[in-house]
Protein backbone atom coordinates (compact mmCIF):
# COMPACT_ATOMS: atom_id res chain seq x y z
CA UNK A 1 0.00 0.00 0.00
CA UNK A 2 1.33 3.38 -0.88
CA UNK A 3 1.83 6.23 1.55
CA UNK A 4 2.17 9.93 0.91
CA UNK A 5 5.49 11.39 2.04
CA UNK A 6 8.33 13.62 0.91
CA UNK A 7 10.84 12.16 -1.52
CA UNK A 8 13.50 12.75 1.17
CA UNK A 9 11.59 10.50 3.54
CA UNK A 10 11.09 7.96 0.79
CA UNK A 11 14.85 8.00 0.23
CA UNK A 12 15.43 7.16 3.90
CA UNK A 13 12.85 4.36 3.62
CA UNK A 14 14.60 3.02 0.52
CA UNK A 15 17.91 2.91 2.40
CA UNK A 16 16.23 1.04 5.24
CA UNK A 17 14.80 -1.46 2.77
CA UNK A 18 18.29 -1.89 1.34
CA UNK A 19 19.33 -2.85 4.91
CA UNK A 20 21.66 0.10 5.21
CA UNK A 21 22.65 0.54 8.86
CA UNK A 22 25.15 3.36 8.54
CA UNK A 23 25.79 6.17 6.06
CA UNK A 24 28.90 8.30 5.92
CA UNK A 25 28.37 11.91 5.03
CA UNK A 26 28.66 15.63 5.40
CA UNK A 27 25.60 17.89 5.27
CA UNK A 28 24.96 21.13 3.41
CA UNK A 29 22.02 23.23 2.27
CA UNK A 30 20.99 21.23 -0.79
CA UNK A 31 21.01 17.85 0.99
CA UNK A 32 19.36 19.13 4.18
CA UNK A 33 15.89 17.72 3.41
CA UNK A 34 17.46 14.23 3.53
CA UNK A 35 19.22 14.97 6.83
CA UNK A 36 15.97 16.29 8.26
CA UNK A 37 14.25 12.96 7.56
CA UNK A 38 17.25 10.92 8.65
CA UNK A 39 17.14 12.64 12.03
CA UNK A 40 13.35 12.47 12.41
CA UNK A 41 12.83 8.92 11.29
CA UNK A 42 12.92 6.05 13.71
CA UNK A 43 15.07 4.17 11.24
CA UNK A 44 18.06 2.17 12.29
CA UNK A 45 20.40 4.19 10.13
CA UNK A 46 23.32 5.79 11.90
CA UNK A 47 24.90 8.83 10.31
CA UNK A 48 28.65 9.05 10.65
CA UNK A 49 29.91 12.57 10.24
CA UNK A 50 33.24 12.55 8.43
CA UNK A 51 35.48 15.61 8.34
CA UNK A 52 35.91 15.75 4.56
CA UNK A 53 33.54 14.43 1.90
CA UNK A 54 36.19 12.30 0.15
CA UNK A 55 36.49 10.36 3.38
CA UNK A 56 32.75 9.62 3.36
CA UNK A 57 33.36 7.85 0.08
CA UNK A 58 36.43 5.99 1.33
CA UNK A 59 34.59 4.93 4.49
CA UNK A 60 31.70 3.60 2.41
CA UNK A 61 34.27 1.77 0.28
CA UNK A 62 35.84 0.16 3.37
CA UNK A 63 32.41 -0.89 4.60
CA UNK A 64 31.34 -2.30 1.22
CA UNK A 65 34.52 -4.33 0.91
CA UNK A 66 33.93 -6.01 4.24
CA UNK A 67 30.18 -6.61 3.94
CA UNK A 68 30.25 -7.42 0.21
CA UNK A 69 27.18 -5.19 -0.14
CA UNK A 70 26.75 -1.65 -1.44
CA UNK A 71 27.46 1.07 1.14
CA UNK A 72 26.31 4.68 1.10
CA UNK A 73 28.02 8.07 1.26
CA UNK A 74 26.29 11.44 1.24
CA UNK A 75 27.42 14.97 0.37
CA UNK A 76 25.84 18.25 -0.53
CA UNK A 77 25.87 20.04 -3.88
CA UNK A 78 28.83 21.89 -5.40
CA UNK A 79 32.04 21.55 -3.39
CA UNK A 80 30.61 18.71 -1.29
CA UNK A 81 30.01 16.70 -4.42
CA UNK A 82 33.29 17.61 -6.13
CA UNK A 83 35.20 16.67 -2.97
CA UNK A 84 33.50 13.29 -3.10
CA UNK A 85 34.65 12.61 -6.66
CA UNK A 86 38.15 11.37 -5.74
CA UNK A 87 36.56 8.74 -3.54
CA UNK A 88 34.08 7.79 -6.25
CA UNK A 89 36.96 7.41 -8.71
CA UNK A 90 38.87 5.33 -6.15
CA UNK A 91 35.90 2.99 -5.73
CA UNK A 92 35.46 2.82 -9.51
CA UNK A 93 39.04 1.75 -10.16
CA UNK A 94 38.78 -1.03 -7.57
CA UNK A 95 35.20 -2.06 -8.53
CA UNK A 96 33.67 -1.35 -5.12
CA UNK A 97 29.88 -1.09 -4.80
CA UNK A 98 29.18 2.37 -3.42
CA UNK A 99 26.00 4.41 -3.75
CA UNK A 100 26.86 8.10 -3.57
CA UNK A 101 24.01 10.48 -2.83
CA UNK A 102 24.58 14.17 -3.52
CA UNK A 103 22.28 17.13 -3.04
CA UNK A 104 21.79 19.41 -6.02
CA UNK A 105 20.44 22.95 -6.33
CA UNK A 106 16.72 23.29 -7.10
CA UNK A 107 15.81 21.96 -10.55
CA UNK A 108 14.71 25.37 -11.88
CA UNK A 109 18.11 26.79 -10.88
CA UNK A 110 20.22 24.13 -12.62
CA UNK A 111 22.50 25.59 -15.27
CA UNK A 112 22.36 29.12 -13.85
CA UNK A 113 25.61 28.95 -11.86
CA UNK A 114 23.82 29.55 -8.57
CA UNK A 115 25.50 29.19 -5.17
CA UNK A 116 27.08 25.76 -4.65
CA UNK A 117 26.03 24.52 -8.04
CA UNK A 118 28.20 22.03 -9.89
CA UNK A 119 27.43 19.65 -12.74
CA UNK A 120 27.97 16.65 -10.50
CA UNK A 121 26.75 13.93 -12.83
CA UNK A 122 28.83 15.47 -15.60
CA UNK A 123 31.94 15.80 -13.48
CA UNK A 124 31.67 12.29 -12.04
CA UNK A 125 30.71 10.65 -15.32
CA UNK A 126 34.10 9.09 -16.14
CA UNK A 127 34.29 7.53 -12.67
CA UNK A 128 30.88 5.98 -12.13
CA UNK A 129 29.34 2.75 -13.26
CA UNK A 130 26.19 4.81 -13.73
CA UNK A 131 24.64 8.02 -12.49
CA UNK A 132 21.21 9.57 -12.22
CA UNK A 133 20.11 13.16 -11.91
CA UNK A 134 16.65 12.70 -10.44
CA UNK A 135 14.38 15.38 -11.88
CA UNK A 136 11.02 13.79 -11.20
CA UNK A 137 10.40 12.99 -7.53
CA UNK A 138 8.00 10.20 -8.46
CA UNK A 139 10.84 8.24 -10.03
CA UNK A 140 13.02 8.46 -6.91
CA UNK A 141 12.19 5.07 -5.36
CA UNK A 142 12.68 3.08 -8.57
CA UNK A 143 15.86 5.02 -9.29
CA UNK A 144 17.29 4.27 -5.85
CA UNK A 145 16.41 0.63 -6.39
CA UNK A 146 18.21 0.62 -9.74
CA UNK A 147 21.22 2.37 -8.21
CA UNK A 148 21.71 -0.37 -5.59
CA UNK A 149 21.09 -3.07 -8.17
CA UNK A 150 23.59 -1.66 -10.65
CA UNK A 151 26.22 -0.91 -7.99
CA UNK A 152 26.22 -4.41 -6.57
CA UNK A 153 25.62 -6.72 -9.55
CA UNK A 154 27.83 -7.58 -12.50
CA UNK A 155 31.16 -5.87 -12.09
CA UNK A 156 30.46 -3.79 -8.98
CA UNK A 157 31.10 -0.07 -8.98
CA UNK A 158 29.94 3.29 -7.71
CA UNK A 159 26.55 4.70 -8.71
CA UNK A 160 25.77 8.37 -8.18
CA UNK A 161 22.35 9.76 -7.28
CA UNK A 162 22.24 13.52 -7.72
CA UNK A 163 19.02 14.90 -6.27
CA UNK A 164 17.86 18.53 -6.47
CA UNK A 165 16.60 20.03 -3.22
CA UNK A 166 13.09 20.71 -4.53
CA UNK A 167 12.82 17.09 -5.63
CA UNK A 168 13.72 15.94 -2.10
CA UNK A 169 11.01 18.21 -0.70
CA UNK A 170 8.27 17.08 -3.13
CA UNK A 171 5.51 14.81 -1.90
CA UNK A 172 5.22 11.44 -3.58
CA UNK A 173 3.40 8.15 -3.12
CA UNK A 174 5.78 5.53 -1.79
CA UNK A 175 4.88 1.87 -1.88
CA UNK A 176 7.18 -0.52 -0.02
CA UNK A 177 5.82 -3.58 -1.81
CA UNK A 178 6.46 -1.92 -5.13
CA UNK A 179 10.02 -1.20 -4.00
CA UNK A 180 10.62 -4.85 -3.15
CA UNK A 181 10.09 -5.91 -6.78
CA UNK A 182 13.24 -6.52 -8.83
CA UNK A 183 14.16 -3.56 -11.01
CA UNK A 184 13.55 -3.57 -14.77
CA UNK A 185 16.51 -2.31 -16.77
CA UNK A 186 16.25 -3.57 -20.34
CA UNK A 187 19.80 -2.59 -21.25
CA UNK A 188 21.49 -4.12 -18.20
CA UNK A 189 21.62 -7.88 -17.93
CA UNK A 190 24.89 -8.91 -16.26
CA UNK A 191 26.04 -12.37 -17.23
CA UNK A 192 26.15 -15.01 -14.57
CA UNK A 193 27.45 -18.49 -15.33
CA UNK A 194 30.23 -19.20 -17.78
CA UNK A 195 29.77 -20.66 -21.23
CA UNK A 196 29.79 -24.48 -20.89
CA UNK A 197 32.15 -25.02 -23.83
CA UNK A 198 34.58 -22.50 -22.42
CA UNK A 199 34.50 -24.22 -19.02
CA UNK A 200 35.40 -27.47 -20.76
CA UNK A 201 38.29 -25.71 -22.51
CA UNK A 202 39.46 -24.31 -19.15
CA UNK A 203 39.52 -27.78 -17.62
CA UNK A 204 41.30 -29.30 -20.66
CA UNK A 205 43.86 -26.49 -20.81
CA UNK A 206 44.65 -26.89 -17.11
CA UNK A 207 45.01 -30.65 -17.51
CA UNK A 208 47.44 -30.23 -20.41
CA UNK A 209 49.59 -27.70 -18.59
CA UNK A 210 52.87 -28.70 -16.96
CA UNK A 211 53.47 -25.40 -15.16
CA UNK A 212 50.13 -23.73 -14.52
CA UNK A 213 49.82 -20.65 -12.32
CA UNK A 214 46.76 -18.99 -10.78
CA UNK A 215 46.72 -15.24 -10.31
CA UNK A 216 43.90 -13.89 -8.14
CA UNK A 217 42.72 -10.28 -8.13
CA UNK A 218 40.20 -8.19 -6.23
CA UNK A 219 37.27 -9.99 -7.87
CA UNK A 220 38.06 -13.14 -5.90
CA UNK A 221 36.48 -11.63 -2.76
CA UNK A 222 33.09 -11.59 -4.48
CA UNK A 223 30.88 -13.99 -2.49
CA UNK A 224 34.03 -15.34 -0.80
CA UNK A 225 35.04 -17.00 -4.05
CA UNK A 226 38.59 -17.36 -2.70
CA UNK A 227 37.35 -20.49 -0.93
CA UNK A 228 36.59 -22.03 -4.33
CA UNK A 229 39.89 -20.75 -5.75
CA UNK A 230 41.73 -22.51 -2.91
CA UNK A 231 39.86 -25.74 -3.68
CA UNK A 232 40.84 -25.42 -7.32
CA UNK A 233 44.49 -24.70 -6.56
CA UNK A 234 44.71 -27.54 -4.05
CA UNK A 235 42.96 -30.09 -6.22
CA UNK A 236 45.11 -29.47 -9.31
CA UNK A 237 48.21 -28.56 -7.28
CA UNK A 238 48.52 -25.14 -8.93
CA UNK A 239 50.72 -22.46 -7.34
CA UNK A 240 49.08 -19.08 -6.72
CA UNK A 241 50.18 -15.47 -6.98
CA UNK A 242 48.07 -12.37 -6.52
CA UNK A 243 47.72 -8.78 -7.62
CA UNK A 244 47.74 -6.09 -4.95
CA UNK A 245 43.94 -6.27 -4.90
CA UNK A 246 44.11 -10.03 -4.36
CA UNK A 247 46.22 -9.96 -1.19
CA UNK A 248 44.67 -12.01 1.66
CA UNK A 249 42.63 -14.21 -0.67
CA UNK A 250 45.02 -16.98 0.36
CA UNK A 251 46.49 -17.04 3.86
CA UNK A 252 50.21 -16.27 3.53
CA UNK A 253 51.14 -19.55 5.14
CA UNK A 254 49.36 -21.47 2.41
CA UNK A 255 52.06 -23.64 0.77
CA UNK A 256 50.84 -22.88 -2.76
CA UNK A 257 50.75 -19.11 -2.27
CA UNK A 258 53.73 -17.03 -3.44
CA UNK A 259 52.58 -13.45 -2.97
CA UNK A 260 52.21 -10.34 -5.05
CA UNK A 261 53.28 -9.89 -8.67
CA UNK A 262 54.25 -6.67 -10.41
CA UNK A 263 56.62 -3.76 -10.32
CA UNK A 264 56.88 -3.83 -6.51
CA UNK A 265 55.96 -7.46 -6.11
CA UNK A 266 57.84 -10.43 -4.73
CA UNK A 267 60.67 -11.78 -6.90
CA UNK A 268 59.33 -15.33 -6.55
CA UNK A 269 55.87 -14.26 -7.74
CA UNK A 270 57.31 -12.54 -10.79
CA UNK A 271 59.55 -15.53 -11.40
CA UNK A 272 56.47 -17.74 -11.36
CA UNK A 273 54.85 -15.48 -13.96
CA UNK A 274 57.93 -15.69 -16.14
CA UNK A 275 58.30 -19.47 -15.82
CA UNK A 276 54.72 -20.71 -16.04
CA UNK A 277 53.27 -22.15 -19.23
CA UNK A 278 49.67 -21.27 -18.35
CA UNK A 279 48.36 -18.26 -16.46
CA UNK A 280 44.87 -18.49 -14.97
CA UNK A 281 43.52 -15.05 -14.10
CA UNK A 282 40.70 -15.11 -11.58
CA UNK A 283 38.97 -11.75 -11.14
CA UNK A 284 42.13 -9.84 -11.96
CA UNK A 285 42.28 -7.15 -14.59
CA UNK A 286 46.09 -7.07 -14.72
CA UNK A 287 47.03 -3.43 -15.02
CA UNK A 288 50.22 -1.87 -16.33
CA UNK A 289 52.05 -2.22 -13.01
CA UNK A 290 51.28 -5.91 -12.79
CA UNK A 291 51.62 -6.90 -16.39
CA UNK A 292 55.35 -6.26 -16.88
CA UNK A 293 56.86 -8.68 -19.36
CA UNK A 294 53.78 -10.85 -19.74
CA UNK A 295 52.76 -9.34 -23.05
CA UNK A 296 56.14 -10.12 -24.55
CA UNK A 297 55.77 -13.84 -24.04
CA UNK A 298 53.54 -16.08 -26.02
CA UNK A 299 51.87 -17.19 -22.81
CA UNK A 300 48.67 -19.22 -22.64
CA UNK A 301 46.13 -17.30 -20.61
CA UNK A 302 42.80 -18.36 -19.13
CA UNK A 303 41.04 -15.16 -18.19
CA UNK A 304 37.93 -15.40 -16.03
CA UNK A 305 36.20 -12.09 -15.40
CA UNK A 306 32.72 -10.67 -15.02
CA UNK A 307 33.57 -7.80 -17.35
CA UNK A 308 34.08 -8.81 -21.00
CA UNK A 309 35.91 -5.53 -21.63
CA UNK A 310 38.73 -6.57 -19.28
CA UNK A 311 39.40 -9.74 -21.23
CA UNK A 312 41.98 -9.06 -23.89
CA UNK A 313 42.33 -5.39 -22.88
CA UNK A 314 45.88 -5.54 -21.51
CA UNK A 315 46.74 -9.16 -22.17
CA UNK A 316 45.47 -11.41 -24.99
CA UNK A 317 43.50 -14.36 -23.59
CA UNK A 318 43.63 -17.82 -25.14
CA UNK A 319 40.61 -19.02 -23.15
CA UNK A 320 38.29 -16.16 -22.20
CA UNK A 321 35.45 -16.87 -19.76
CA UNK A 322 32.90 -14.19 -18.94
CA UNK A 323 30.85 -14.78 -15.83
CA UNK A 324 30.38 -14.40 -12.11
CA UNK A 325 33.59 -15.73 -10.55
CA UNK A 326 31.72 -17.78 -7.95
CA UNK A 327 29.48 -19.47 -10.51
CA UNK A 328 32.34 -20.09 -12.93
CA UNK A 329 34.61 -21.60 -10.27
CA UNK A 330 31.79 -23.88 -9.19
CA UNK A 331 31.38 -24.99 -12.80
CA UNK A 332 35.12 -25.64 -13.11
CA UNK A 333 35.25 -27.58 -9.84
CA UNK A 334 32.50 -29.89 -11.09
CA UNK A 335 34.86 -31.12 -13.79
CA UNK A 336 38.42 -30.43 -12.75
CA UNK A 337 40.42 -33.62 -12.11
CA UNK A 338 43.14 -33.86 -9.48
CA UNK A 339 46.74 -33.51 -10.58
CA UNK A 340 50.22 -33.09 -9.03
CA UNK A 341 53.03 -30.78 -10.12
CA UNK A 342 55.82 -31.74 -7.70
CA UNK A 343 58.70 -30.32 -9.78
CA UNK A 344 57.05 -27.02 -10.57
CA UNK A 345 55.88 -26.43 -6.99
CA UNK A 346 59.15 -27.66 -5.59
CA UNK A 347 61.04 -25.18 -7.75
CA UNK A 348 58.91 -22.24 -6.60
CA UNK A 349 58.97 -23.23 -2.94
CA UNK A 350 62.75 -23.50 -3.05
CA UNK A 351 63.06 -20.04 -4.62
CA UNK A 352 60.67 -18.62 -2.05
CA UNK A 353 62.49 -20.04 0.94
CA UNK A 354 65.80 -18.76 -0.45
CA UNK A 355 64.31 -15.30 -0.77
CA UNK A 356 62.67 -15.48 2.65
CA UNK A 357 65.94 -16.41 4.29
CA UNK A 358 67.18 -12.88 3.63
CA UNK A 359 66.68 -11.41 7.10
CA UNK A 360 65.92 -7.72 7.42
CA UNK A 361 68.63 -5.51 8.84
CA UNK A 362 67.70 -4.75 12.41
CA UNK A 363 71.00 -3.30 13.58
CA UNK A 364 69.66 0.26 13.64
CA UNK A 365 68.40 1.49 16.99
CA UNK A 366 67.26 4.98 15.95
CA UNK A 367 64.92 3.80 13.18
CA UNK A 368 62.78 0.75 12.55
CA UNK A 369 63.14 -1.65 9.64
CA UNK A 370 59.61 -1.79 8.16
CA UNK A 371 59.88 -5.44 7.13
CA UNK A 372 61.00 -6.50 10.58
CA UNK A 373 58.23 -4.38 12.08
CA UNK A 374 55.52 -6.00 10.00
CA UNK A 375 56.91 -9.44 10.82
CA UNK A 376 56.36 -8.69 14.50
CA UNK A 377 52.91 -7.28 13.73
CA UNK A 378 52.08 -10.55 11.94
CA UNK A 379 52.81 -12.52 15.10
CA UNK A 380 50.62 -10.39 17.33
CA UNK A 381 47.46 -9.67 15.36
CA UNK A 382 44.52 -12.06 15.27
CA UNK A 383 44.24 -14.02 12.00
CA UNK A 384 41.04 -12.30 10.96
CA UNK A 385 42.43 -8.77 11.26
CA UNK A 386 41.57 -6.21 8.59
CA UNK A 387 44.67 -4.33 7.45
CA UNK A 388 44.14 -1.17 5.41
CA UNK A 389 47.29 0.05 3.73
CA UNK A 390 47.53 3.55 2.37
CA UNK A 391 49.54 4.52 -0.72
CA UNK A 392 53.29 4.88 -1.04
CA UNK A 393 56.14 2.92 0.47
CA UNK A 394 53.97 2.01 3.46
CA UNK A 395 51.67 0.22 1.03
CA UNK A 396 54.42 -1.84 -0.56
CA UNK A 397 56.03 -2.71 2.78
CA UNK A 398 52.67 -3.88 4.07
CA UNK A 399 51.59 -5.62 0.86
CA UNK A 400 54.79 -7.65 0.63
CA UNK A 401 55.18 -8.57 4.28
CA UNK A 402 51.79 -8.72 5.94
CA UNK A 403 50.69 -12.22 6.82
CA UNK A 404 47.04 -12.72 7.58
CA UNK A 405 45.29 -15.86 8.65
CA UNK A 406 41.91 -17.35 7.89
CA UNK A 407 39.32 -14.58 7.56
CA UNK A 408 41.95 -11.85 7.44
CA UNK A 409 41.55 -9.13 4.90
CA UNK A 410 43.89 -6.65 3.24
CA UNK A 411 42.40 -3.46 1.78
CA UNK A 412 44.09 -0.69 -0.15
CA UNK A 413 43.44 1.71 -2.99
CA UNK A 414 44.93 -0.54 -5.65
CA UNK A 415 43.94 1.01 -8.96
CA UNK A 416 43.73 4.69 -8.23
CA UNK A 417 46.49 4.81 -5.62
CA UNK A 418 44.63 7.42 -3.59
CA UNK A 419 46.62 8.79 -0.66
CA UNK A 420 44.47 9.30 2.41
CA UNK A 421 42.44 6.13 1.86
CA UNK A 422 43.48 4.06 4.84
CA UNK A 423 42.02 5.77 7.91
CA UNK A 424 38.54 6.48 6.49
CA UNK A 425 38.41 3.04 4.84
CA UNK A 426 39.43 1.50 8.18
CA UNK A 427 36.61 3.44 9.85
CA UNK A 428 34.17 1.97 7.32
CA UNK A 429 35.59 -1.52 7.73
CA UNK A 430 35.42 -1.33 11.51
CA UNK A 431 31.82 -0.14 11.31
CA UNK A 432 31.05 -3.15 9.13
CA UNK A 433 32.81 -5.61 11.40
CA UNK A 434 33.20 -4.12 14.89
CA UNK A 435 34.36 -7.39 16.45
CA UNK A 436 37.48 -7.58 14.29
CA UNK A 437 40.74 -5.73 14.76
CA UNK A 438 41.07 -3.07 12.04
CA UNK A 439 44.44 -1.41 11.53
CA UNK A 440 45.28 1.39 9.10
CA UNK A 441 48.91 1.57 8.03
CA UNK A 442 49.91 4.82 6.39
CA UNK A 443 52.90 7.07 5.86
CA UNK A 444 53.52 10.47 7.40
CA UNK A 445 52.61 11.99 4.03
CA UNK A 446 49.32 10.19 3.61
CA UNK A 447 48.38 10.51 7.29
CA UNK A 448 48.42 14.27 6.90
CA UNK A 449 45.83 13.95 4.14
CA UNK A 450 43.38 12.24 6.50
CA UNK A 451 44.23 12.92 10.12
CA UNK A 452 41.07 15.00 10.51
CA UNK A 453 39.27 11.65 10.52
CA UNK A 454 40.59 10.95 14.01
CA UNK A 455 37.69 13.16 15.08
CA UNK A 456 35.22 10.92 13.24
CA UNK A 457 36.61 7.83 14.96
CA UNK A 458 36.51 9.52 18.37
CA UNK A 459 33.05 11.06 17.95
CA UNK A 460 31.45 7.81 16.83
CA UNK A 461 33.48 5.50 19.05
CA UNK A 462 35.00 3.61 16.14
CA UNK A 463 38.01 1.82 17.49
CA UNK A 464 40.49 1.80 14.62
CA UNK A 465 44.23 1.54 15.16
CA UNK A 466 46.59 3.65 13.11
CA UNK A 467 50.23 2.98 12.39
CA UNK A 468 52.11 5.90 10.84
CA UNK A 469 55.34 4.87 9.14
CA UNK A 470 57.16 8.16 9.51
CA UNK A 471 60.29 8.90 7.52
CA UNK A 472 59.78 12.66 7.07
CA UNK A 473 59.75 12.08 3.33
CA UNK A 474 57.30 11.28 0.58
CA UNK A 475 59.23 8.06 0.39
CA UNK A 476 58.07 6.56 -2.86
CA UNK A 477 58.60 9.76 -4.83
CA UNK A 478 61.92 10.23 -3.04
CA UNK A 479 62.95 6.77 -4.23
CA UNK A 480 61.81 7.53 -7.77
CA UNK A 481 63.77 10.77 -7.84
CA UNK A 482 66.78 8.94 -6.45
CA UNK A 483 66.67 6.28 -9.14
CA UNK A 484 65.33 8.07 -12.18
CA UNK A 485 65.99 11.77 -11.68
CA UNK A 486 69.69 11.77 -10.79
CA UNK A 487 68.94 11.97 -7.08
CA UNK A 488 67.48 15.42 -7.56
CA UNK A 489 65.15 15.38 -4.56
CA UNK A 490 62.39 17.94 -4.98
CA UNK A 491 59.27 18.58 -2.92
CA UNK A 492 59.54 15.34 -0.98
CA UNK A 493 60.65 16.72 2.38
CA UNK A 494 57.93 16.72 5.01
CA UNK A 495 59.55 19.31 7.24
CA UNK A 496 57.01 21.01 9.43
CA UNK A 497 55.09 17.81 10.08
CA UNK A 498 53.61 17.61 13.55
CA UNK A 499 54.32 15.09 16.27
CA UNK A 500 51.61 12.55 15.51
CA UNK A 501 51.32 11.36 19.09
CA UNK A 502 50.60 14.93 20.14
CA UNK A 503 48.02 15.11 17.37
CA UNK A 504 46.39 11.99 18.80
CA UNK A 505 46.50 13.56 22.22
CA UNK A 506 44.76 16.67 20.87
CA UNK A 507 41.91 14.42 19.77
CA UNK A 508 41.79 12.82 23.22
CA UNK A 509 43.28 9.48 22.24
CA UNK A 510 46.53 7.76 23.06
CA UNK A 511 49.55 7.18 20.94
CA UNK A 512 53.13 6.02 21.12
CA UNK A 513 56.47 6.22 19.33
CA UNK A 514 58.61 3.38 18.11
CA UNK A 515 62.26 4.07 17.27
CA UNK A 516 63.92 0.78 18.05
CA UNK A 517 62.77 -2.56 16.65
CA UNK A 518 63.45 -4.18 20.02
CA UNK A 519 60.49 -2.33 21.52
CA UNK A 520 58.05 -3.37 18.80
CA UNK A 521 56.38 -6.11 20.82
CA UNK A 522 55.47 -3.81 23.65
CA UNK A 523 54.41 -0.97 21.35
CA UNK A 524 52.06 -3.25 19.42
CA UNK A 525 50.66 -4.91 22.51
CA UNK A 526 49.72 -1.47 23.81
CA UNK A 527 48.18 -0.55 20.46
CA UNK A 528 46.15 -3.74 20.25
CA UNK A 529 44.99 -3.51 23.86
CA UNK A 530 43.66 0.02 23.48
CA UNK A 531 39.90 0.30 23.78
CA UNK A 532 39.98 3.54 21.85
CA UNK A 533 41.60 4.57 18.58
CA UNK A 534 45.37 4.61 18.92
CA UNK A 535 48.17 6.17 16.86
CA UNK A 536 51.57 4.49 16.73
CA UNK A 537 54.27 6.57 15.09
CA UNK A 538 56.94 4.24 13.72
CA UNK A 539 60.10 6.10 12.79
CA UNK A 540 61.63 4.64 9.66
CA UNK A 541 64.90 5.52 7.98
CA UNK A 542 64.52 8.08 5.21
CA UNK A 543 66.64 5.93 2.89
CA UNK A 544 64.57 2.78 3.16
CA UNK A 545 63.66 1.26 -0.23
CA UNK A 546 60.16 0.10 -1.18
CA UNK A 547 61.19 -3.47 -1.87
CA UNK A 548 63.06 -4.77 1.15
Partner 1 sequence: MKHHTISILVENHAGVLSRISGLFARRGFNIHSLAVGVTENQSTSRITIVAEGDDRTLEQIEKQLNKLIDVIKVRSVKGVELLSRELMLVKVNCSPARRSELIAIAEINDAKISDVSESTMTLELSANEMRLSAFEELLKPYGIKEIARTGVIALQKGTGSL
CB of 5 to partner 1, least distance (A): 26
Phi, psi of 254, deg, nearest 5: -60, 125
DSSP-derived pairing of the beta strands 171-175 and 2-6 = antiparallel
CB of 308 to partner 1, least distance (A): 5
CB of 427 to partner 1, least distance (A): 30
Site for partner 1 contains 303 (CB under 8 A): no
Site for partner 1 contains 44 (CB under 8 A): no
DSSP-derived pairing of the beta strands 386-389 and 319-322 = unpaired
Q: How far is the CA of 64 from the CAs of 20, 147, 470, in angstroms?
A: 11, 15, 29
User: 226, 407 in Cβ contact below 8 A?
Assistant: no
DSSP-derived pairing of the beta strands 465-470 and 409-412 = unpaired
Closest Cα partner for 323 from 278, 283, 280? 283
For residues 111 and 382, which CB has a smaller minimum distance to partner 1 in the complex?
111
Out of 44, 79, 111, 312, which residue is the one contacting partner 1 (CB under 8 A)? 312
For residues 135 and 231, which CB has a smaller minimum distance to partner 1 in the complex?
135
Site for partner 1 contains 285 (CB under 8 A): no
Residue 153: CB partners within 8 Å, gap ≥ 6? 190
Footprint on residues 105-124 left by partner 1 (CB under 8 A): 121-122
Site for partner 1 contains 51 (CB under 8 A): no
For residues 188 and 192, which CB has a smaller minimum distance to partner 1 in the complex?
188
As a whole number of Å, the end-to-end CA separation of the chain is 63
Containing 36, the helix (H) or strand (E) segment is helix 32-40
For residues 133 and 228, which CB has a smaller minimum distance to partner 1 in the complex?
133
Binding segment (CB under 8 A) for partner 1, from list 306-314, 364-372, 489-497, 511-519: 306-314
CB of 126 to partner 1, least distance (A): 5
Out of 1, 112, 186, 531, which residue is the one contacting partner 1 (CB under 8 A)? 186
Out of 112, 180, 182, 187, which residue is the one contacting partner 1 (CB under 8 A)? 187
Residue 48 buriedness (CB in 10 A; 0-12 / 13-18 / 19+): buried
Phi, psi of 4, deg, nearest 5: -85, 130
Mask of contacts with partner 1, 129-158, x by CB under 8 A? xx--x----------------x----x---
Site for partner 1 contains 126 (CB under 8 A): yes
Residue 547 buriedness (CB in 10 A; 0-12 / 13-18 / 19+): middle
Footprint on residues 436-475 left by partner 1 (CB under 8 A): none
What residues line the site for partner 1 (CB under 8 A)?
121-122, 125-126, 129-130, 133, 150, 155, 185-188, 307-309, 312-313
Amino acid sequence: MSKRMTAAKALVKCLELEKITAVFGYPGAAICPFYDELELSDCGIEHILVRHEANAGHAASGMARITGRAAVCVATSGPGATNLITAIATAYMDSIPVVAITGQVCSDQIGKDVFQEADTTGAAEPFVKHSYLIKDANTLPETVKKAFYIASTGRPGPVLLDIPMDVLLSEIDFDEDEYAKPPEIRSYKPSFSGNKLQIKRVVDTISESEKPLICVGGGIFHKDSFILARKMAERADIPVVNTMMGISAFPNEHPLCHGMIGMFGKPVANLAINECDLLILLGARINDRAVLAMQERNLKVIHIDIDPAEIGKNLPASVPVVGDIHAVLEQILEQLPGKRHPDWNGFLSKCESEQNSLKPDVSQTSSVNPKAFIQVLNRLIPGDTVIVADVGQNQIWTANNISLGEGGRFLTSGGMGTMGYSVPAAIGAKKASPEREVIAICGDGSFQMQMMELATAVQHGINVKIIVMANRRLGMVRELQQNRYRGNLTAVFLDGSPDFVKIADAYGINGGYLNDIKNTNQALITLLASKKPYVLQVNVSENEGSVL
